[in-house]
Every structure is written in structure tokens, then in C-alpha cells.
Structure 1
Amino acid sequence: MSRSKKQSRAPNSMRRYVFDSIIKRALREHSLFEAGGPGFLVLVTPEGYSPSDYQSSVLDQLYDDDRFYRRDGVGCILVFLTDKSSKFEDEYSECCKRERVIAVIERGVELPPIIQLAADLVIHIPPITPDDLKAAARAVVRRPMTDEEAETALSYPREHLWAAFRPMRSIGEAMRRLREVEVNSPVEGTDQVKMRSAPETPMLAEMHGYGPAKEWGTQLATDLADWKAGTIDWGDVDKGIVLSGPPGVGKSIFARALAKQCNVSLVASSLGRWQSRGHLGDLLKSMRADFDRARNNAPSILFIDEIDSFGSRDSFDHENANYSIQVVNALLECLDGLDGREGVVVVGATNNTDRIDPAITRAGRLDRHVEIPLPSAADRIAILSQLTAHSIPVSDLLRLGTLTRGMTGADLAKTVRDGRRLARRERRELTLEDLKAGLPEGTKISGEHRWGIAVHEAGHTIVGIQLGYGTYIRTNIADVVRPDLKHQPGGAAYFDIPRVARRDRQFYLNCVAVMLAGLAAEKLYLGDFSDGAGGGEQSDLAVATRLATFLEANLGMGASFLHSNAQTDQELEKLRLSDDALKARVEKILADQYERVEGILESRRALLELLAKELDAVGLLTPQRVRELESSLEDRGSFNSQRKGIS
């Protein structure tokens, strides 16, 4: 007999969409029941959730097939912790002859033996996840929600959550309402559902991966404390900063952690939130109100997310230019403030600093710029340890260093959430394997591949030391790489190069030579070189070509004193393509330095082999170990060349 399901209703609330989705996923564990077949399922709610939360969604699933089943052929049972123990058996006795039955029981209710025997499957419903909220936002509110917004939203009581997220209301406005409405704690002794408390944001000093931004923030905390104590003037405190960095590095979390570190109030907003209030007059009124609120609560931090969305007045050439100019001018007035903004530190966040109006970053406004980088390997491990509440030994987490390369703090948080979900499903504690399950697959570097990388990096090491490229630190090769990343080196030689120094033409030629040393080492020892030196903006060939072009076209150290403003690889490539003479000079620099490097490595071939073997076996070279290996060759008389600069 063919069956046709009812046409699905369009979701009319976030709450309904979320619980419908969760019930549909839960029923997939019983494929026959999901397909409309008979069965008796027991669904156990997560801790803190009521069976009544799921009632409407369960009834929809049961009655969705009423053209096939009679209304008295299906049944729904709800059992609460406060119910008498006999209720479950009584309700089941009424439904036991029905073909499709779902019992939703509250976590902690003990299943009677008769139910354990009768149930086809007992399914533990997972709690609402940030992904559930994001999907509901797209379907109901018709707006995207970030991971951070979803996680924060879930920290509020659920009834507040559903009330705040109304159809066609912006995500920013809903989040603002949640923040500003006071959440009262449940009264002891009532039947109010116990809610999970909001996750506490640690102080900035306890967080990892923020680099120079963290240093600035901790110094600001000291300065604000001194200002409150009257030991320094407000003029000695940084009044504004622009934080930049790729999406997901945690700029919003930084603002909360900064406020906690400084022990001051936080006012968070954005142009999008201000615009959601209505026309231009409403926008400007809302913007000024937030600045007033920050002043009234001084000392405070006013966080403006996506500050680049204001744009630059120099580029406004559209029909709404007058509107945009008025918005930027109003922000500048708020930053300056006729009454001043003593005690208010403004923090702007952006993914694109080039789009910010220069007047916003002028001295006295947001005049400091700090970039939040992607977390280093050490930071990623520390973040994972913090997110997992230190439940997994750091020595074990170290194995995830390479697999998490390129990940932001938000990516790592998602990895932990996915791992916890897997552990909950199997009713056990979180393990390292749970975290690895959500990470991209790694490929082990071994055999000829590892040997080729070892030779390549040994070449960089020898030439860098020989030419005094900088202070040699170490050389290492990775055990595992991530094939999904666009550019991931299998190894690297590290040198500390002074930021401030006299740099002449020979310095840049030496830099080009070091970049080409890996290729030359492979060609000398292996007979040919692989594709590992090219393919990305930071590859050896890209850096060497960029430096050679700068020499000839930007720095006045080539055949002409003419200067070009070209900076990016795309701009430099256009410059070379439009000037055949320049292209020929760049190619000659590269060829000459490659030949120069070949001579250096040929004279130290025995050391090249020894360093490569050490890297292949151990994966690491240190300055001391390089000196030891070099001395062993000298003792054996394997080479007589002296370490000196080569011009």
C-alpha cells in the first residue's frame, strides 16, 4: 500500500524547529519506525529537559501517517520524575495494543521490567547543540548565526531563548535582549526546571592564542587600575584599539575576557545592531545610547564588532553615500565626545582593516592596531586542554598538534563539542580518540618522502648558517601532514632575523639564496627536486621571487632607481609581465643565487648528507647538534672548508 506523508508545515518558531529536528534524528535509530512502520520506542530526555518539551514534535511524527494508521492506532506517553511509579505501566497498558507508540520519559525515571521487555529500542535524546540553533536560525529567523552566538545563546534559560528569537528579528537584536534581561535563579523548592548556568569566561591572563593582543589587554588592566587609584591620568591610558584577525580567532570572546581582566563593565554592539533599530535617526540614537551607557558605567569597555562595516568615506560613491557618511561622522563624534569619554575604552574588531575609514584610527580614537594570529601549536594544545577541563593529559593532546594546524579557537571548540557528543552517545568520558574523530585525517611522512624533506631542510640549514642569515634556532620535519591544507610544509629551518638592522643589496641576495637552498640540495643529492618549494604565497619560490622583484622595483637596489608601489604577489606579477626587462633581471637574480647555493652545498656535501640522515632519523636539529656533526666531519677530515661569509 502506498503512503503519502502530510506536507511539512513551514517552521514558525525556533523552539519548534529545534525539537522537531532532534526528534527526527532520534527516530533514525529505528529505521523501520522512521519509515512509518510499527514499533514501541522509549525516548529518554537529556538532564534538565522535560518530556513536555518534545510532546508536539512526537505527536507530529506519530500522526504524520494518519492516512495509513487510524488515530487510535498510535499512542504517546509522557512520564515525569514526579509521577507515581505505576503511571508508566498504567499508560502502557492502554497503549500496548497500538501499532506505533512513543514514550518520552524524563532522565532519571527507572524503566519498569515490563517496559524494558516491550520496548523495541531505548533512545537517549541528545541535548540541544549550537548546530541545532544555527539551523533553526537559518530556517526560521532567516539569518545566519555564528558558532559563538549559538554557544552564548544556549547559556541562557531556554524559555528566554525561544522568546528572544522571533521570526524576522535580527540575531544581534535577539542576543542583545538576552544579555539585558536579568535572569533570576530558580527558587528553591519549586518545580522550575533546572537550567545549566552560563559558561564563565576566564580572565584574559588565563586564555591562550591571543599573542600581542593579550599583552596589550593585561597592560590595559594595570593602567585602568592605576587610573582608578589616581596614580595616572586618563591621558596615559590607551583609549581605543582595533583588533584584526581571521574569522573564528575569538575577537568577541577577547572582549569579554578583557572586561573581566580589567574588572569593568562591557557594552557590546555593532553597526548591524544599531541599524536593526530602524531608520537613520533610530540608528544614531541607538549608537549614542550605547556610548552613554558605557560612560555611565565607566570604567568600561565598549566593543564594536565588524567595525569595517562602517566603510570609508573616501569610497562612498553609491546613491546612499549621504546616509553612510552621516553614520561614520556620528561614530567619530561619539569617539571624540563633546563631554569626553573618560573611563571608556573602545575596542573595534574586524576581519579587514583596509575598509576602515582612516579617521576612525586617527590618533586619539582607535589609534592602536593589534592582530590576533591563528593560535600556534602550543596555544592550540593549551586551548584544547582548557576546553576539555584538563581531563585529557597534555602529553596526549600533543599528538593533535599537526592535525589542528590552521585551526582557530572556534574550530577547536567545535572539535571538543563533537568529541563530547560522541562520548555522550556511548555513555562514557571524553577521550583523545573522540577529539581525533572530528579532525581531518593526517598522512604520515615516511620513506622517500621523509628523506626528500630531510635533504631539502638540511640544505636550508647549511646555507642559512654559512651566509649568516640570522641566528640559527632549529630545524625539524613533521611526522604527519594534513593533505586538506592548501600549503603545509613538511619541515622548516628556523632563524631569528633582527627586525631592525642595516639591509643592503647583499642582505637581500643572501635571503634569496637561502630560499633556493632546499631546491639546490635536492638537485645535488637526489638528482632532481620535487614540487614542495612552490605552490603557495609562503613557499620558497614565492618568497625568493618576491624578494628579487623588490630589489629591482621597490628598493632602488637594481638597474633603476624607479620605485613602484606594488606589494602583493598579484601586483608584482603584473609588474613583471608588463616589463620584460624587469622580468629578465629578476630571473637572472634567481639563477645567479641558485648557482651560488649549488657551490656552497657542493663544498659541504658530506655535512649535507649527515644533517639529512639526522633529520630523517630524529626529526630535529639544534645548533649544538649541528656543531657536533660538523666537528665529527672535521675530525675525520671529510672537508676542509672554513665557515665564512660568501659574497
Structure 2
Amino acid sequence: MPLIVETRGPFQMVRLPSNKQKSSTYQHALERTVRRALKAAPQFADGGAGAVVLVAPEDYDLSDYGEILTRIVSTNNEDFYRSDSGLLYLWASDSEAKVLKSFDKEFQSNHRVIVITETRQNLPALIKVATDAVIDLQAITPQDFRAACKVVLKLRMSLRQARQAFRFPSELVWAALRPGRAMDEVLSRLEHASDHLQRPHPAVPPTLSKMHGYGEAKAWGLQLAGDLKDWRNGSIAWSDIDSGILLSGPPGVGKTVFARALAHECGVSLVATSLGQWQSKGHLGDLLKAMRTDFAKARQLSPSIIFVDEMDSFGDRSTFRSDNADYSIQVVNALLECLDGLGDREGVIVVGATNHPSRIDPAIVRSGRLDHHVAIPVPSADDRVQILAQLASCTVPSALIQPIKLATEGMTGADLAKAVRAGRRAARKNRRQFEMADIIPFLPTTVPVEGEFRRMAAVHEAGHTVVGLALGCGEYLGTVVPHHVVAGSTETTFGIAHFRFPEFEKRDRQAYLDRIAITLGGIAAEELWLGSFGDGGGGGKSSDLAVATRLATLMETSLGMGSTLRYSEAFNDKELEALRRCNSRLRQRIDATLAEQFARAKTILEGRQVSASKFISELVSTGFLTPEIQEHAVESSNIEVTVYS
């Protein structure tokens, strides 16, 4: 029995309108785009077995495609729910585990399957392999609009009139269409309605100086803009300009947007490309020709920036082991030739981007090529507010600043842009001007950290803080217990104690033991002052117990700080866990180290209960503890903070 599953919420049956219902003009136009896209999967389009993925255009609601896709996927026109077919909606916010569970459970055995998704980015590899094709749906064109009006409304228009109508907001266009209404009247109504709306300005890419959240990359770009100006004036030579950079960062932080803004800031042309674009041209010879053509184009447009996305897709020649090794090596070598060819040609800046800098061939990032590497971080709270204001072209009301900061924790620029688009869409549906408050329903929900749980979080973080200060480890920067956290986030933290450690410092056995004691200080405080500790110290690779266990294991296995001087190459968690499982004596030594440092942390805390109590009260009430507040609390409690060795 087939199901229609919406992975945004609990799995459930979704009843769609009867396919006997007369199709609207919009639905007919939308169906034309689907039928056109399915030509890329001819067997499926002809009614044969298969599974395809359709990627919806930006700003299109997946649910709008429901009735259309139900008719297309079903081979039983009488009752979709009795046919051997399936339809899966996949939203960008869905987790991979959730999507795979739904796909595996409901659709693997079906005769015909359609998966429709908001984006390619969250499409699991398993679905890519299991389906016959991944196809991009196009937005409705003026030609689709014209044909749909002719079929549904018997409304005739010229292509020029159709294109003229498409200048107006789409919701107004579809609303203006009525049976018996002439196209001239439709256009007149649209013109009149638009006079009362705030028309959006044409999209002009912002300059880098007006962008937010790019950190060191922005500083580099502004320096480049100044250097190019000096080069044009003859003040400096081209050899003095840093003409190659590699940008890295998680998906969505805006590496492509950065390249556009950089070109605008510098006042130069931009050639944006990627290995995927070059591969789409055909076989190896076509790929190499396309690559060299783009680099030649950048030289012709000099001064210019050539932006090469997904640099990690070239791979590292030392890791090529398959039958395609010769092919891949030729591609990397050709890229190196293009990069070297720029050495004696002035006016071309190369900007590469990647999500995985460690996977790039070392020759690509050696001196003289893309030797400057800058990581673009996820934007800070203040940057997120500024980015939203820029995307929405309106100020953020003071009452919304703090809620937005809390709700957008961990969000990238792409995530914020998606929220703004959703807010604009909601405002259009309600036939009113967009306001910043319109994006709030499309941001993650926050929940308060309060009551008994808040006190437990404060005790835990105070434990880390007191032990760290007592041992004199690193520079204390402060402690935070948030008042709200994002519900359901895998990155949610209920508090953190900040200690900054020097990049280069003496790290002997005692230093590692001190780190372990600090890490276990949180659960030690919970057990000491609450009677037992909760699950906040474990449960993940970055948890306190995971960090402490990792340090204790490394001391024994590769650092020579345990019972032997034997070295082991095991370094990552999986390898270290394998060693622990197969060596009972190693487990015993690690357990002993952890138990000793846990007891040591409790001893330290027992001697500092007055100052710790002040820390806890401060964290419960205000949510933060600064070095200045900490020093005042210690002084007022008349307790000397000593260093344990």
C-alpha cells in the first residue's frame, strides 16, 4: 500500500485533492515544467518502472507539486493509494537518518517512486544510487504561463504579453486571472495593484565592505581591493599582490557570495566555475578544453577574479587507486598548468573554495598557487542579525534582536537567506508588506533553560571553572549558561567554561592530568553538591567523558606518559576504542587515571565551596561569569586560589 510521506513532521497519510478536480492555471503551468523535466528519464515518463528525484526551483513550495506528482507516479488512475507507487517529500531541514529511514521503509519495493526535494545538498548518497536520475525542475516560464492560460481559461495572449505579466509578483499574476477576463485587463489590473506595492530594487551584489560574518577572509579581500587600486595607479608591482587564496568552511557560509562581493568591491570581472561545470562538457578532452577556456577568459577580462568552487573534487593524486586514476591525474595536472600559467600574466586573481581542505592535492596549495588558506566561520550572533537585516533590506527591531540571536545559533548565511525567503513568501500570501517579524515562524524554536535544570547546568560549569582556576591552566575567559537554547539541535550546549591555552606550551604528564581533571570537574561538582551527576557529561564525541577518555588513552598509547614508552599510531576515536576493547590492562590503566582525576577534582572543589557557591548564583541569575566577576567573588570569599600539582 503506497504512502505519501512528509518527512518534515511525523510520518502520516496525506490526502490530496481528487485528480478529477479541474486543474487550475497555476497547476497546469507547473505540470508542464514537471513533464518537461521527466524527459530526462524517458522510461519513467512513459509509465515504466523506476525512481527519480526532482529538485524544486528556489522559492517553490513542494506541496504545490503534490497533485501533479500523484497523477504522474501512479499507474492506477482510479486509486493512487492502491497502486504500487510512492511519493516522498524531502525538505532541506530533514536529517539524513530521518530521510533514509522513510525511504528504506516505504519506497524501496515500490514500482514507481518520485522523491521531490528542496535542494540537492541534503540528498543522501543512498538515494542518489537507488534512483535512476536526479533532475532539476525549472521555474514556470512565460511560455508555460501562456500555454496554461490558453488551455484552462481559453485566454489568448502574445508571448510579449506573457513576458510583461511576469514582471509582476507571481501571486498577483495568478490572482488577476479570471474566466472571461481579457489579457489587456489583466495587465492593467497588475499595473494598478503594483503602484500600491513597494517594488523591489534590482538585485545588486553588495560590496565586500558591507558584508558581515566573513572574518579574516573579509580583511584579506579589502586588502586586495586596496592593492589592486595601487597596482592600477602604478604604485606597486603585480608581484606584490597576493593573487591566490583558498577559502574553506562548512556548506552555506557563503563562499560563492564572497567571490561575487569581492569582485564588486575590487571593481573587476568575475569568472565563476567548478570541476562539475567542466565535466558537464563531455569527455576528458572537452573537460580540459573548458577548463583552459575559462582561465583564458579570465586573462582576457583582466583585471579579473576566477572563482573555482569545490576544489576538493579534484582530489589528491597520492590517493588515486581506481581505474580512473589516469583520468583524475590528468585533470589535476591540467589545473596546475592553468595556475602556473597565471604566474607571468598580470591582473588575474584565483579564488578557490572547498568544504574539505584536507582532501586537496598539496601541489594546488603550495607556494605560488593557492598558498593562502582562510577558513570562513559560521557567523556570530551580531553578524547573524546584520546579515538578516541586509538580506531583508530592513532594520531589525530592538525587541527581536535577542530572540533572533538565540534562534539562529549555528545558522549559516544560506540558512538565514532561506528564512528570509520564507518570510517574504508568507507576507505575499497575506497581501501585505514584508516585516522582519515574518521570518520568526521560520526560525528554529527556542526553549528556556530554567528551574532545577538551570541550577544543575550552573553547578556543572562552575565545577569546570573552579578546577581550571585552581590548577592555573590556560587563560580564563569566562563562563556562560544560556537562558534559552534551540530545541532539537544536535549542537545544543547548556553551558561552557572558556579557557584559552597557548598554541605552544609545556605539555608533560602533569599538564595532561590537569586537563583531565578540569574536564571531569563538571560532573565532580554535580556529584559533590547535587548528590549525583546527570547525562550532560557524556553522550557524544565532544562530551566531557569522551574528551577525558581520549586524553587518558593517548597518554598510554602514543605519548609515552603511561606505564610504557611504547608508541601506537592509533589516533582517532575509532582506533583508540579498538585498542581499549582488545586490551584489558590498557582499560584498567585508563580507568584508574580517570578515577584519580575525578577524585582530585572533587577534592579541589571541596576546598572552594564558598567561591563556587558565588559562581553558581551568578550563573543562575545572569547566565555569565567574567574574569572580573570571578576575581571579585574569590576576594570576597577570602579564599586563596592555589595551584595544584
TM-score, scaled to structure 1: 0.71
The answer (yes or no) to whether the contact 2:243–2:348 under 8 Å persists in 1 is yes
Match of 1:378 in 2: 382
State the Cα distance separating 1:13 from its structure 2 match.
4.7
Distance 1:18 1:609, change over 3 A: closer
Q: Which among 54, 60, 63 is matched to residue 145 of structure 2?
A: 54
| C-alpha distance in 1 between matches for 2:423 and 2:217 | 29
State the Cα distance separating 1:601 from its structure 2 match.
0.6
Larger radius of gyration: 1
Q: Which among 302, 314, 321 is matched to residue 310 of structure 1?
A: 314
Distance 1:55 1:533, change over 3 A: same
Match of 2:462 in 1: 458
Match of 1:11 in 2: 34
State the Cα distance separating 1:332 from its structure 2 match.
0.9
**Pair 1:523-2:614 in alignment:** no
Aligned residue identity for 1:456: H
Cα deviation, 1:255-294, whole Å, max 9, x if unaligned, reads: 1112223332221111111122222222212211211222
State the Cα distance separating 1:339 from its structure 2 match.
6.9
| C-alpha distance in 2 between matches for 1:556 and 1:501 | 18
Percent pairwise identity? 48
Aligned residue identity for 1:594: F
State the Cα distance separating 1:58 from its structure 2 match.
4.4
State the Cα distance separating 1:478 from its structure 2 match.
1.0
State the Cα distance separating 1:52 from its structure 2 match.
8.6
Question: What are the within-5 Å matches in structure 2 for residues 322-337 of structure 1?
Answer: 322-337=326-341
The answer (yes or no) to whether the contact 1:397–1:432 under 8 Å persists in 2 is no
State the Cα distance separating 1:385 from its structure 2 match.
2.2
Residue 11 of structure 1 aligns to a residue whose secondary structure is helix
**Pair 1:488-2:492 in alignment:** yes
Distance 1:109 1:235, change over 3 A: closer
State the Cα distance separating 1:455 from its structure 2 match.
0.9
Match of 1:566 in 2: 570
Match of 1:588 in 2: 592
| C-alpha distance in 2 between matches for 1:585 and 1:467 | 23
Gaps of 5+ in 2: 1-17, 40-55, 68-139, 166-176
**Pair 1:497-2:501 in alignment:** yes
TM-score, scaled to structure 2: 0.71
**Pair 1:243-2:247 in alignment:** yes
Question: What are the within-5 Å matches in structure 2 for residues 116-265 of structure 1?
Answer: 198-265=202-269
Residue 206 of structure 2 aligns to a residue whose secondary structure is coil
State the Cα distance separating 1:517 from its structure 2 match.
0.8
State the Cα distance separating 1:344 from its structure 2 match.
2.1
The answer (yes or no) to whether the contact 1:208–1:382 under 8 Å persists in 2 is yes
Distance 1:595 1:258, change over 3 A: same
The answer (yes or no) to whether the contact 1:312–1:357 under 8 Å persists in 2 is yes
Aligned residue identity for 1:440: P
The answer (yes or no) to whether the contact 1:312–1:356 under 8 Å persists in 2 is yes
The answer (yes or no) to whether the contact 1:467–1:644 under 8 Å persists in 2 is yes
Cα deviation, 1:154-176, whole Å, max 9, x if unaligned, reads: xxxxxxxxxxxxxxxxxxxxxxx
Match of 1:620 in 2: 624
Cα deviation, 1:40-71, whole Å, max 9, x if unaligned, reads: xxxxxxxxx999973433455x4xxxxxxxxx
State the Cα distance separating 1:377 from its structure 2 match.
1.9
State the Cα distance separating 1:550 from its structure 2 match.
2.8
Distance 1:105 1:24, change over 3 A: farther
Q: Which among 637, 640, 645 is matched to residue 633 of structure 1?
A: 637
Residue 434 of structure 2 aligns to a residue whose secondary structure is coil
| C-alpha distance in 2 between matches for 1:332 and 1:504 | 43
Residue 401 of structure 1 aligns to a residue whose secondary structure is helix
Question: What are the within-5 Å matches in structure 2 for residues 41-120 of structure 1?
Answer: 54-60=145-151, 62=152, 107-108=189-190
CA RMSD of aligned residues (A): 3.8
Distance 1:585 1:484, change over 3 A: same
| C-alpha distance in 2 between matches for 1:456 and 1:349 | 40
**Pair 1:425-2:401 in alignment:** no
Match of 2:363 in 1: 359
Cα deviation, 1:552-577, whole Å, max 9, x if unaligned, reads: 33333333333334333223323333
The answer (yes or no) to whether the contact 1:392–1:431 under 8 Å persists in 2 is no
| C-alpha distance in 2 between matches for 1:484 and 1:289 | 47
Aligned residue identity for 1:11: V
Match of 1:279 in 2: 283
Distance 1:544 1:409, change over 3 A: same
Gaps of 5+ in 1: 29-48, 63-73, 84-90, 97-102, 112-123, 128-193, 635-640
Match of 2:478 in 1: 474
Cα deviation, 1:432-476, whole Å, max 9, x if unaligned, reads: 432220012221111111111111111112112111122222222
| C-alpha distance in 2 between matches for 1:419 and 1:622 | 37
| C-alpha distance in 2 between matches for 1:108 and 1:95 | 13
Q: Which among 380, 394, 397 is matched to residue 393 of structure 1?
A: 397
**Pair 1:643-2:641 in alignment:** yes
State the Cα distance separating 1:580 from its structure 2 match.
3.5
Aligned residue identity for 2:459: V
Distance 1:395 1:472, change over 3 A: farther
Distance 1:218 1:322, change over 3 A: same
| C-alpha distance in 2 between matches for 1:3 and 1:487 | 47
Distance 1:426 1:292, change over 3 A: same
Match of 2:415 in 1: 411
State the Cα distance separating 1:369 from its structure 2 match.
2.0
Match of 2:111 in 1: none
Residue 431 of structure 2 aligns to a residue whose secondary structure is coil
Number of corresponding residues: 515
State the Cα distance separating 1:489 from its structure 2 match.
0.9
Match of 1:600 in 2: 604
